[in-house]
């Protein structure tokens, strides 16, 4: 045993099981918790428990929510004829932060990835197809990875026959960085995706 306490060992193991957390960081977090007073620990464990019992999927867009439908789907101010399809709930937050998008979302919860055993049935694709009544445009905002690319192709094939406008978000240069600092791959994709003005 590495530690003098089994509880510490268990906590370190739990932290280390989280994504992006290595063993060293897990240790640091554990020591940090040990130094805190009781009330902090209570709050911490309480919030973890509530997280799982209170948060569920929105039955419309499959984003995480405490109310069903979620505040975005329930909002009267939002345009329901446009749906932006994203891979993860995080992506919704990223787009919401812009404050420039006033329509709806659909969260797939991943992308097609045979190596990880994720097929179309494991994503919220059927759920997306079911809510397309009255929808005029689908914006595909998936990641530029090969998995995102393939998922996009798959969705296009499913949606195309339904006579709905399909768009994808542009790929290219990040705003705020100069052309000369972008790498060749990014610049080349940006040229590929050029638009007429």
Q: Residues in the site for another protein, rule: CB under 8 A?
A: 22, 112-115, 119-120, 146-147, 149-151, 153-154, 157, 183-185, 188
CA dihedral 68, 72, 74, 79 (to 10 degrees): -150
| Selection from 82, 61, 83, 86 nearest residue 143 by Cα | 86
Residue 26 beta carbon to another protein: minimum distance, rounded to whole angstroms: 12
Query: What is the nearest approach in angstroms of another protein to the Cβ of residue 156?
Result: 9
**DSSP per-residue codes, 68-104:** SS-HHHH-TTSEEEEEEEESSHHHHHHHHHHT---EE
Shorter beta-carbon distance to another protein: residue 73 or 108: 108
Q: How far is the CB of 79 from another protein (least distance, A)?
A: 29
The smaller minimum CB distance to another protein, of residues 133 and 184, is found at 184
Which of 48, 17, 47, 11 shows the shortest CA–CA distance to 29? Answer: 11
Closest CB to another protein among residues 178, 184:
184
Burial 106-133 (b: 16+ CB within 10 A, else e): bbbbebbbeeeebeeeebbbebbeebee
CB of 41 to another protein, least distance (A): 29
Q: Are 83 and 135 in contact (CB under 8 A)?
A: yes
User: By C-beta, is 12 or 72 nearer to another protein?
Assistant: 12
1 or 185, CB closer to another protein? 185
**Shortest separation between residue 11's beta carbon and another protein, angstroms:** 20
């Amino acid at each position: 045993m590495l530690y003098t306490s089994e509880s510490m060992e268990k906590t370190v193991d739990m932290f280390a099981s989280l994504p992006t957390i290595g063993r060293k960081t897990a240790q640091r977090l554990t020591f940090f918790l040990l130094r805190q007073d009781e009330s902090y620990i209570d709050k911490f464990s309480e919030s973890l428990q509530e997280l799982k019992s209170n948060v569920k999927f929105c039955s419309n867009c499959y984003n995480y929510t405490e109310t069903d439908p979620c505040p975005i789907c329930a909002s009267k101010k939002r345009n329901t004829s446009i749906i932006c399809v994203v891979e993860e709930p995080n992506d919704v937050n990223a787009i919401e932060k812009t404050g420039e998008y006033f329509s709806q979302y659909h969260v797939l919860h991943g992308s097609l990835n045979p190596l990880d055993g994720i097929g179309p049935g494991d994503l919220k694709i059927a759920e997306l197809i079911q809510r397309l009544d009255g929808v005029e445009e689908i914006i595909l905002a998936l990641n530029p990875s090969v998995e995102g690319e393939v998922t996009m192709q798959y969705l296009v094939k499913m949606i195309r026959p339904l006579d709905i406008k399909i768009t994808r978000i542009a790929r290219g240069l990040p705003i705020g960085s100069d052309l000369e600092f972008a790498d060749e791959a990014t610049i080349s994709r940006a040229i590929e995706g050029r638009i007429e003005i």
